[in-house]
Amino acid sequence: MPRLITPMMASLRRGLPHDEDRYGWEFKWDGVRAIAYVTGGQVRLLSRTGQDMTETYPELAVLARRVKGPVIVDGEIIAIGDGRPDFGLLQSRMHVRRPSGRLVLQVPVQFYLFDLLHHDGQSLLPVPYTGRRERLAELGLDADPVRTTPWYPGGAADVLAASLAHALEGVIGKPLASAYHPGQRRDWIKIKNVKLQEVIICGWKPGQGRRADTIGSLLVGVRDGPRLRYAGHVGTGFTQAGLADLMGRLRPLYRSDSPFGTAVPAPHARGARWVQPRLVGEVAFTEWTSDKVLRHPSWRGLRADKNPGQVHQAG
């Protein structure tokens, strides 16, 4: 059984394709992508960047007792809040390598499976999407905390409408006859209900009032060719616990000058605390301005599973 399969990715589309009946449609889950390797009665969980997350989510070890033979499955680790995936809630688990039993009980996670890549000595990467989904269903893994997600042949508009009605992030379309291409953005497409953008934290401004002793806003950027481009400042969407965690992570990254390769507006540059551009986060926003700055961004949380060098403007 292979020790590492890099997840296949989806390319962002602005709307549904005209040949939507050529695809199988799934809901887009708001969590952390994970590949699970199950063999010898043990589970190994790796992120999309190859980071080992096994100890972070001990409740998912139950997967080893539910399958026979070596298995590799692809899916999303999520936390449920108010009846839907809550990425902010998942943040309290993502950065804890060995969570306490109390935290596991307070913030349980689920593993939503949507692909089967290897089973009982056979690679399923060349098998069509429909075949892989059939084999995944046959494993009978749809019981908490592991779920086999639904998929729908065609009917994209209805699936997208359902995702919007349930406040989900959007949908993923996968050609029915497509193979699985590790590490590639090929064939799969995604359509989002809300605009999300990965950003690199490059600095922060002190807050005022109740936030006088902590972060008032983050100065964030994206890669634009060889340079790091200023993309705006984010001052909403934080929790007190999240701010405390960010302060602890940013202090050791202090630097005396701006890491941006483009100008930062004077009001935001004035009094800024600059940091090494090593941390990646995610924001929700309404649109990009003509100056390529995020309009009305709101902080969603850190993305420890993302590489700063791969953070570009998504759309």
| Per-residue pLDDT at 218 | 97
Q: By residue range, what is the domain housing residue 258?
A: 195-310
Average pLDDT over residues 140-169: 92
77 within some domain? yes
Per-residue pLDDT of 300-311, as tens digits, reads 899 988 899 999
1 within some domain? no
Structural domain ending residue among the three candidates 174, 192, 210: 192
- Dist CA 117 CA 122 (whole Å): 9
- For the ranges 69-78, 163-172, 202-211, 293-302, the maximum mean pLDDT occurs at 69-78
Instruction: Please state which of the ranges 26-35, 180-189, 288-297 shows the lowest mean pLDDT.
Output: 288-297
- Dist CA 125 CA 164 (whole Å): 31
Residue 183 contacts by C-beta under 8 Å, 6 or more apart in sequence?
6, 7, 8, 9
Residue 176 has pLDDT above 80, yes or no: yes
- Dist CA 45 CA 58 (whole Å): 10
| Tokens 């100008």 -> residue | 263
Per-residue pLDDT of 133-153, as tens digits, reads 999 999 999 999 999 999 999
Q: Are 187 and 215 in the same domain?
A: no
| Per-residue pLDDT at 106 | 94
Average pLDDT over residues 213-220: 94
Among candidate residues 28, 190, 192, 306, the one labeled active-site is: 28
> Percentage of residues in the chain with pLDDT exceeding 70?
100
Residue 223 contacts by C-beta under 8 Å, 6 or more apart in sequence?
200, 229, 308, 309, 310, 311, 312
Total domains in the fold of the chain? 2
Higher pLDDT, 116 or 238: 116
| Tokens 């000058």 -> residue | 257
Q: Are 184 and 203 in the same domain?
A: no
Residue 54 has pLDDT above 70, yes or no: yes
Per-residue pLDDT of 99-125, as tens digits, reads 999 999 999 999 999 999 999 899 999
DSSP alpha helices (H): ranges in 149-236? Answer: 156-165
Q: Are 58 and 124 in the same domain?
A: yes
Structural domain ending residue among the three candidates 192, 226, 260: 192
Query: If we measure between CA atoms, which residue out of 115, 191, 207 comes closest to residue 156?
Result: 191
> Any catalytic annotation for residue 68?
no
Q: Are 178 and 267 in the same domain?
A: no
- The predicted model scores a pTM of 0.72
| Per-residue pLDDT at 37 | 97
| Per-residue pLDDT at 179 | 98
Q: Are 304 and 272 in the same domain?
A: yes
315 within some domain? no
Average pLDDT, the chain: 93
Structural domain ending residue among the three candidates 192, 207, 223: 192
Q: Are 171 and 93 in the same domain?
A: yes
Reported confidence tier of residue 131, pLDDT bands at 50, 70, 90:
very high
Reported confidence tier of residue 315, pLDDT bands at 50, 70, 90:
low
